Amino acid sequence: MSMTAIIGGTGLTDLDGLNIQREEVLETCWGAVSAPVLIGDFHGHEIVFLARHAQDHSLPPHKINYRANIQALELLGVDRIIAVNAVGGITEGMCGGVICIPDQIIDYTSNREHTFFSDDFEVTNHIDFTMPYDEKLRQSLIQGAIQVGLNIRQGGVYGCFNGPRLETAAEIRRMERDGCDLTGMTGMPEAALARELGLSYASICLVVNRAAGKADGEITIDGIRQVLVEGMQKVRQLIEASLVL
Ligand code: HPA
């Protein structure tokens, strides 16, 4: 039996429509999980929900214990993870409100615990990460979006920046030259850790602002909040539709 987890990011610290049956406060050998893990029924599907930044959004991206989060989901029997990420849009058309299912990642983060294989390393621990997202799960998300009539981007490169500050305009220009379409702060090492444990992982990215230097003026939190409210409603619809696929 397949069990799906949703890791909610900024703007999705709880999941409307989730009928919670159990709540688990978990401690793993890597430390504490971001928040109590909620297990329940979401439109007829048993799912697990985890708020990546904690329920009060108190954990900044570099302080999230990604290893504990992924390990806890695996221990609960999860085999598919749908990650939700709020991102900045870099390339043309990646504007506020756009939903993208990325297919590639560039990791610009540093000083994060990014592997389960630091100790007792074996040669088999060099995981293949050519395609960082699980293609079958990505296709379920894309089909789910099509079914509910959402116009989404079916691929894109997610660049993961350390944060918590936003990027400079020059950093964004560099990311664009590297081929990034989106910039976010939480996609890595989450995706790689899921792969290390053999879990299917894909991401729904909601663009909440044009990235630094791509629009006139400053990026404001108020502007981001406005896009988040409407955008996350669409994300929930997409998740519901894709769970049956
Ligand atoms: N940069 C990085 N992360 C983000 C952004 C951004 O512009 N917007 C939302 N998350």
Residue with tokens 């395609």: 131
Rounded to whole angstroms, the Cα distance separating 96 from 81 reads: 24
**Residue with CA nearest ligand 1 atom 3:** 184
Give the per-residue pLDDT at 1.
72
The pLDDT-based confidence of 61 (bands split at 50, 70, 90) is very high
Q: Say which residues have a Cβ less than 8 Å from residue 114's Cβ, sequence separation at least 6.
A: 66, 188, 189, 192, 193
**Residue 15: what residue type?**
L
Nearest to 45 by CA among 190, 193, 228, 236: 236
The pairing of strands 200-210 and 80-89 is parallel
N-term to C-term CA, the chain: 14
Q: Report how far ligand 1's centroid is from the alpha carbon of 88 (Å).
A: 4
Distance from residue 183's CA to the centre of ligand 1 (Å): 6
pTM: 0.97
Which residue is listed with tokens 């504490």? 32
ipTM over 0.85: yes
Q: Which residue from 52, 209, 222, 228 has its CB within 8 A of the most atoms of ligand 1, so it is best to mutate?
A: 209
Omega before 164 within 30 of 0, i.e. cis? yes
Question: Taking each helix axis from N to C terminus, what angle separates 221-243 and 135-147, rounded to the nearest 10 degrees?
Answer: 100
Q: How confident is the model at residue 14 (pLDDT cuts 50, 70, 90)?
A: confident
Q: How confident is the model at residue 133 (pLDDT cuts 50, 70, 90)?
A: very high
DSSP strand pairing (200-210 vs 99-100): antiparallel
Distance 202 CA to ligand 1 centre (A): 18
In this prediction, residue 236 carries a pLDDT of 95
Q: CB within 6 Å of ligand 1 — which residues?
A: 86-88, 161, 166-167, 183-185, 208-209, 211, 219
Paired tokens of 57: 């959004």
How far are the Cα atoms of 37, 44, 84, 202 from residue 15, in angstroms, in the given order? 12, 14, 11, 18
User: 191-224 pLDDT, tens per residue?
Assistant: 999 999 999 999 999 999 999 999 988 999 999 9
94-129 pLDDT, tens per residue? 999 999 999 999 999 999 999 999 988 888 889 999
Phi, psi of 244 (to 5 degrees): -85, -10
> Rounded to the nearest whole angstrom, what is the distance from the C-alpha of residue 208 to the centroid of ligand 1?
8
The SS3 assignment for 171 reads: helix
Q: For tokens 């990235």, what's the residue?
A: 211
